Amino acid sequence: MRKLSYDEMIAAMRTNDARYAGEFYVCVRTTGIYCLPSCKAKLPMLKNVVFLRTREEAIEAGFRGCKRCRSEFYPNVSPPWVETVLAFLRKGVHYKIREQELADHIGVDISTIRRYFKSYMETTPMAYHRKMRLEYAHSLIKTGTDYLTAAFEAGFESSSGFRDAFVKQYGCSPGRINGH
């Protein structure tokens, strides 16, 4: 890790210099948030700022990621648990997974999972899961399953709820996709 002087870090923060991303984190004591140097959030008062060189140090010191610059997910790589989340949701297309169940299974706070989905997939974990279940039901209907059975198999609790969600996603009612 190359040496950075305090003045250099201040200058990088003041000019929102993106080249310094990942080289240090701007941690603000009053808000408890850590930011990338390029964060466009309001410039904090210097006396409240601590510069830390790694995210691990920032987290260890009790700072939380910033919603604005997404310091938590820099450099835009998926956190290691994302694959596990997706696999769990995929495996669970037969029933409605609860958020708490998901969080417990993954061992990651549900608000962190939600934030990732929002930032990178523009949806919520539950909406994403519902979409997967609809796709599963859709594939069942296509291969000849009647739609009530398909709805049940995909964990929908009511046929009208299933019907509404289906129409919203596919633009036609579930009884119609086989041309009936």
Interface residues toward Zn ion, by CB under 5 A: 35, 39, 41, 66, 68-69
Q: Which two tokens stand for residue 126?
A: 């539950």
Nearer to Zn ion, 42 or 168 (CB): 42
Facing residues of 28 across strands?
33, 49
Cα-to-chain-centroid distance, residue 175: 33
Q: State in angstroms the smallest separation of the CB of 33 from Zn ion.
A: 7
Q: How many CB atoms lie within 10 A of CB 39?
A: 23
Q: State in angstroms the smallest separation of the CB of 37 from Zn ion.
A: 9
Side by side, which strands form the sheet with 33-35? 49-52, 25-28, 33-35, 64-65
Q: State in angstroms the smallest separation of the CB of 25 from Zn ion.
A: 9
Q: State in angstroms the smallest separation of the CB of 38 from Zn ion.
A: 8
Tell me phi and psi for residue 110, to 5 degrees.
-60, -30
Nearer to Zn ion, 35 or 113 (CB): 35
CA nearest 134: which of 169, 101, 102?
169
Q: State in angstroms the smallest separation of the CB of 39 from Zn ion.
A: 3
Nearer to Zn ion, 39 or 89 (CB): 39
C-alpha to C-alpha distance for 34 and 39, rounded to whole angstroms? 10
Residues whose CB falls within 8 Å of the CB of residue 142, separated by 6 or more in sequence, listed in order: 177, 178
Nearer to Zn ion, 68 or 142 (CB): 68
Nearer to Zn ion, 39 or 140 (CB): 39
